[in-house]
Copies of this chain bind each other. A is one copy, B any other.
Amino acid sequence: MDLKAYLDERRALVEAGLKRFLPAGSTMPSELHQAMHYSLFAGGKRLRPTLTIAAAEAVGGRAADVLPVACAFECIHTYSLIHDDLPAMDDDDLRRGRPTCHTVFGQAMAILAGDALLTEAFALLANPAFVAHLDPALLRTVTYEIALAAGSQGMVGGQAVDILSEGKAIDAALLHYIHTHKTGALILCALRAGAHLGGATAAALDAITGYGTAVGLAFQIADDILDIEGEEAARGKRIGGDQSRGKATYPALVGLEEAKREAQRLAQEAFDALVSLNHHADPLREIARFIVARKA
């Protein structure tokens, strides 16, 4: 299959969905909505919403049906980047090849734009104009999972431990906690939400869960490797930031070569988890390879 064409099509769908579902940049207060749009339409990979769509399609569901939920994940992901980049957090001035949100709009507007995008995700998940076709009880289950994955025992918890661990010697268990929570939880949840709403059987949901657990960790290890080996131009953010901030990373803990082997092993594990699914799951299979082979 042509993965690039698949990803391009899904990304276009997500971009169109975000434009349709979110308030326009001109909405009052316009400075706030412009800050939200600035970060939301900064040319990201749209990995999480693509995973939601691909998981739905893998179990026989339709992209259009899960698009609002897919877009909610992108809102949550974008809010987390805006807040992570703040001076009090990771203090990054470059993201996706452009100045970070707070650099352009100021810290107050960046904090509020992040808050608003997080809130918007849950508005989207409950908006009768966009989710009326989904079963309310199933949607409630998915919404609950999303809130858990994004919250204090998920993504925000991972970021908290990451910040608290800066400059400290940490062991493999704590690093695993950071990786699985800060990045892994939302990636896994994006996949499970798509599968759930796509009509997955319990066995298919299990398969997607196994895939998501492995691919989420593979993604973060690949990200750590790219922070060392990647090219700043392709990556659109500063290289070496982890090291200069004393961040714990997988390569720092086990060495670069072992980290690369582990990423490959996890990609294979993800691939293998889908053995019971048919060819509709091929995009997910290809995405597992792509995640550890990507350059940006």
Residues of B within 8 A of A106 (CB): 88
Within 8 Å of chain B (Cβ to Cβ): is A50? Answer: no
Complex CA–CA separation, A27 to B160 (angstroms): 13
* Contact status of A160 and B29, CB under 8 A, knowing A116-B151, A128-B141, A143-B122: yes
A111 at the interface (CB under 8 A from B): yes
Q: 8 Å CB contacts to B: which residues of A128-185?
A: 128, 131, 136-137, 139-141, 143-144, 147-148, 150-153, 156-157, 159-161, 163-164, 177
In contact, B147 and A122 (Cβ under 8 angstroms) = yes
| In the complex, A42 has a CB within 8 A of chain B | no
Q: Mark A107-127, 1 if CB is under 8 A from B, else 0.
A: 111011011101110110111
Once the chains bind, are A88 and B107 in contact (CB under 8 Å)?
yes
Is there an interface contact between A119 and B118, defined as CB atoms closer than 8 Å? yes
Among residues of B, the one whose C-beta sits closest to the C-beta of A178 is B29
Q: A23-B153, A137-B136, A140-B136 are in contact. Are A89 and B108 (CB under 8 A)?
A: yes
Q: Are A123 and B148 touching (Cβ within 8 A)?
A: yes
Within the complex, what minimum Cβ distance (angstroms) separates A178 from chain B? Answer: 10
Cα distance A151–B163 in the bound complex, in angstroms: 27
In the assembled complex, the Cα of A157 lies from the Cα of B153 at a distance in Å of: 28
* Interchain nearest-CB distance for A142 vs B (Å): 8
**CB pair B127 A144 closer than 8 Å:** yes
Contact among B32, B128, B161 with A157 in the assembled complex (CB-CB below 8 Å): B32
A28 at the interface (CB under 8 A from B): yes
Interface size class of A (residues with CB under 8 A): 35 or more
In the complex, the count of this chain's copies comes to: 2
Query: Does any Cβ of B come within 8 Å of A86's Cβ?
Result: yes
Report the minimum CB–CB distance from A21 to chain B (whole Å): 12
Q: Which of B32, B111, B141, B147 has a CB less than 8 Å from the CB of A88?
A: B111
> Complex Cα distance A128/B142, Å?
11
A140-B128, A147-B126 known; A161+B29 contact, CB < 8 A? yes
Whether a CB of chain B sits under 8 angstroms from the CB of A200 is no
Q: Which 10 A-B pairs have the closest CB atoms?
A: A123-B147, A88-B107, A136-B136, A116-B152, A126-B144, A119-B151, A32-B160, A126-B143, A122-B122, A116-B156
13 A–B contacts from the bound complex (CB under 8 Å): A29-B152, A83-B112, A88-B107, A88-B108, A109-B163, A112-B163, A118-B119, A119-B147, A119-B156, A123-B151, A126-B141, A126-B147, A127-B144
Known pairs A28-B177, A89-B108, A118-B118. 18 more at Cβ < 8 A? A29-B157, A31-B160, A32-B160, A83-B115, A86-B111, A88-B106, A89-B111, A108-B160, A114-B115, A119-B150, A119-B151, A120-B152, A122-B147, A123-B148, A126-B140, A127-B144, A128-B141, A136-B140
